[in-house]
Amino acid sequence: MPAKVLCRALVLLVSLTPAAGWAQAVKADPDTIIVRGGWLFDGVSDDRRRNTGILVRDGRIVRVDVPATEQDTANAAVVELAESETILPGFFDLHAHYNLDLVDEGRVEEVTYNGIVFLANGVTSTWSAGEFYPERVIARRDQIEAGEAIGPRLFASGPYFGGFRCEYQVKVAEDDCIAWPNDISEQEIRDEVDSWARQGVVSIKIKQATPTETRIILEQAHKNGMTAAGHLGNYNVEYDVSTRDAILMGMDRIEHQLTLALAPEEADSTEVDEIVALMIEHQVYYDANLQMYGGINLRSANIAEMIWTEEAKYFTPYAQKLLELRGPPEPESAVPEFIQRVAELMALYQAGGANLLVVGTDEPVYTNLLPGFAYHRELLAMNYAGLPPHVVLKAATLNGARALGVADSLGSVEAGKLADLVVVKGNPLEDIKAARNVRLVVKGGAVHDAATLLRSAEGKIGPAGPADHAAWTLQIKPLR
């Protein structure tokens, strides 16, 4: 049996074992599925409606709102939902780090089980926002697309474009990076963009690049049909490129912050208004990453709502011990700065920029918390900030697809699109926390039981012991 067919058969076998929710087993055509019952939030409207039936064939949505009288259940697998359950489009994480620092030797990618944890949390599509070992992400992407492995859609970012290719070795512009030298030429930059475009990278991450470098990167990325996201502030609290200039250069997405104000009293309302107006005029997407930048303080203040399951168990026993010895990190930002970030997010929303908001976790792993679960911390943080649940859910779905340029096939539950669906227990439009109660995940028509996925990842992330550090140690490759 070909690997792709075998993988799909295993998915269906696991998913179709007797359990609440399945009305019948696979019949004549296992590539045809009917999902019926419960409620539907399609990602387009602002509310949910009763779900009469969603017809999926060969991995795509054929029809939505199929009346019961028109459902041919004799030749389909039927997913019967409870009255209390809600169907959502698959989630997008547009800052989904797969890199972990577990042995105090830099961040490296672990895509296999991180990906499974993402998928189990309903995140069917991720963009990795800068990679230190991009070949690992691309290899896993190819395996998943070939049907040889299970995981979310991996929209690879390739390596960082800028001095952050050397991680934290570069603190100010004068510091040199062997992977992105200070004397990097225009042709080298253009060649780098072209090289990663040929490897299927659809969007790149710019961090610690000069204004001249940024202009060249953006120009070449757009020539290749790629988009780009920018982390624009360096660690001296100065701009590498100002938000205003980045937008005018053609930056497609801005991350973390709109200004560099560290507290509301330092903020210039005129500057915020100008940036918000430019974001809307140029339709630039914004990824605030609230759960990371307010993370430590936010989790401490809302511990029961932010930490609802044991995430440490997905690490190897050895990695768990390393993380326990390391202890909790310092807060990423002070409380006044976080308040300012919330104010900027709400300013964009209140000015009419709801369609520009996307969801990203920005959770490189230094603790025993994982980005797949952090996704739901981010949804909650955005809701805490003042965004209504339907706005948060659209940011998590259709806006994310639009930001990556894939809304023609993903991001909403509509006929003709790929069948990426999430079945959750409860109504996330009343309580956003219901979105974390994932029962089933459908990706490209393959149905996964969320609990089964999570069990398959337990004890798998990280080195097995002291002799197993090599794969978890960052080795920076020179550009030349």
Question: Of 268, 258, 220, 219, which is closest to residue 356 (Cα–Cα)?
Answer: 258
434 burial type by CB count under 10 A (0-12 exposed, 13-18 middle, 19+ buried): buried
Residues 6+ apart with CB under 8 A from 114: 98, 100, 370, 371, 372, 461
In DSSP terms, which residues pair with 39 in a beta bridge?
Answer: 50, 86
Cβ atoms of residues 307 and 368 within 8 Å: no
Give CA separation, 146 vs 46, 199, 251, in Å: 35, 15, 32
Counted residue by residue, the chain has a size of 480
In DSSP terms, which residues pair with 86 in a beta bridge?
Answer: 39, 424
**Type of residue at 244:** R
Q: How many CB atoms lie within 10 A of CB 70?
A: 10
In DSSP terms, which residues pair with 422 in a beta bridge?
Answer: 88, 441
Instruction: Give me the pLDDT at residue 12, please.
Output: 45
In DSSP terms, which residues pair with 79 in a beta bridge?
Answer: 22, 35
pLDDT along the chain (480 residues), means of 10: 40 38 39 96 98 97 96 92 98 96 95 98 97 98 97 98 93 90 97 98 96 97 98 79 96 96 91 97 97 77 88 97 89 86 97 98 87 96 97 98 98 98 98 98 97 98 97 96
The token pair that represents 249 in the structure block: 């250069």
The residue with tokens 């309580």 is 431
Dihedral angle, C-alpha 434, 437, 441, 447, nearest 10 °: -130
Residues 6+ apart with CB under 8 A from 109: 98, 99, 100, 128, 131, 132, 133, 134, 136, 137
Q: How far apart are CA 122 and CA 351, in angstroms?
A: 30
Instruction: Give me the pLDDT at residue 30, please.
Output: 59
Strand, helix or coil for residue 114: helix
Question: Of 369, 231, 206, which is closest to residue 288 (Cα–Cα)?
Answer: 231
Question: Of 401, 400, 383, which is closest to residue 345 (Cα–Cα)?
Answer: 383
Question: Of 183, 93, 131, which is closest to residue 480 (Cα–Cα)?
Answer: 183
Q: How far apart are CA 126 and CA 397, in angstroms?
A: 11
